[in-house]
Amino acid sequence: MKKRGNFFLNIMTSGKPLFSRDEATMDTMVRYILLNSMIFLGCTLLVLFGYESMQRGAVYQAAFDFSMAGMTLVGFVILRTAAPFIISGFMTVVPYMMLCIFLAISGGPQGSGVLWAYSFPLLSIFLLGMKSGTVLSILLLGGISAALYVPGLSPVEFHPSFAFRTVGVYILVLVCTMVYEQTKITKDRWVARLTRTLEAERDEMATMKDNLKTGLFLMDKDFVIQPHYSRSMETVLSETNLSGKNFLDVLSNSVQGKEKETLRDYFTMVYNKSYDAQMLEDINPLYQFNYVSVTHAEEKFLRCSFVPIDRDDGNVYILGTVDDLTREVELRRQLDEEENRRQDQMRAMFEVIHVEPRVLNDFIVDTEYEFDRINELLKDK
């Protein structure tokens, strides 16, 4: 069943890979489906009309119908090639216009053949665009007007009131179609400009995000890291492919047992906005902590902060930031060690300064005596 559906879709889309969800691609796919539908319907009707003309002995009419049907089939083949869409569009829309003129002239049951023309502006403008579609629609308007008003052109004699209403309704359909198409063109241009603006802003945000030294990420209510985290996250955490991982699992080497449950409770409070932002920041158990990478067992000193984020779709996520304080902590430790060493030296100096003068004088005399002995020994050598 699936293969049959895929085969049918392949036929209707002319084998084009049109499965993207963006609006432009969907619009193109609709055009292909509509054009192929017109080809199948128009070709079938033209063949039937040609056969009917052959039965009546109208050889030239039959030849015309069969040639128009062949033209639509050629358009179907061309549509499956790399040729521009507009070529197949013309090769299908023009025969359909001829078919509408033929139906208008032949009259049909109670003169209803002319009613087929009402669908032409919609199809021609949608498939060929505003300019080409409007030109062909005006040509068809001339054809059906001639069939309605020129005596002897059609075997059916149309009442002037019917002819006036038919032409008036056709013009109304044409004008409404043109207004709609122009509105759509304007809307598409506006959407395209807006899309370009949004893409530029997205690229700027991505550039800023990926060049931050701070790790940024979103996690859902189950504490699962979302795909669009900053590039520095992997560097800070010494882990790769964080998307889809549970943040608590990433911290499994850094927090144990009860601490993990405390973290779970804290994240739940952040998600539910149980307290104000300042309170949540004050009780943050990961404000500063020793981190051990799960994959590489690399030890770091990190600082994290978390805030709830409301999305436009109604979902709530937790925005997390992670800073690597390892270098700062190491420098602070070195400064503390240097400060302690300096304090020890100062303390020793003060102890020397504060000894009794007699003891200090004996120390100086002994030192001078030792220096003199060293000098004498060096001179003897």
- Whether pLDDT at 3 is above 60: no
Q: Which of 147, 144, 163, 98 is nearest to 124 (CA)?
A: 98
- Position 1 scores a pLDDT of 44
What is the rounded CA–CA span in Å between residue 375 and residue 381?
Answer: 10
Q: How confident is the model at residue 138 (pLDDT cuts 50, 70, 90)?
A: very high
What is the rounded CA–CA span in Å between residue 241 and residue 249?
Answer: 13
What is the rounded CA–CA span in Å between residue 86 and residue 131?
Answer: 12
What integer is the mean pLDDT of 339-353? 71
Q: Does this model's pTM top 0.85?
A: no
- Position 11 scores a pLDDT of 73
For the chain, the structural domain boundaries read: 2-194, 212-324, 331-380
- Position 357 scores a pLDDT of 66
Least confident window among 31-40, 146-155, 300-309: 31-40
What integer is the mean pLDDT of 156-165? 85
What is the rounded CA–CA span in Å between residue 96 and residue 35?
Answer: 11
What is the rounded CA–CA span in Å between residue 365 and residue 119?
Answer: 122
pLDDT tens-digit map of 58-75: 777 778 778 878 877 887
Superfamily of 212-324 according to CATH: PAS domain (3.30.450.20)
- Burial class, 270, CB count within 10 angstroms (exposed 0-12 / middle 13-18 / buried 19+): buried
pLDDT tens-digit map of 76-123: 777 777 778 788 788 878 888 888 888 788 776 566 778 888 888 988
> What is the DSSP code (8-state) at residue 238?
T
> What is the DSSP code (8-state) at residue 111?
G
Identify the residue with better confidence: 60 or 139: 139
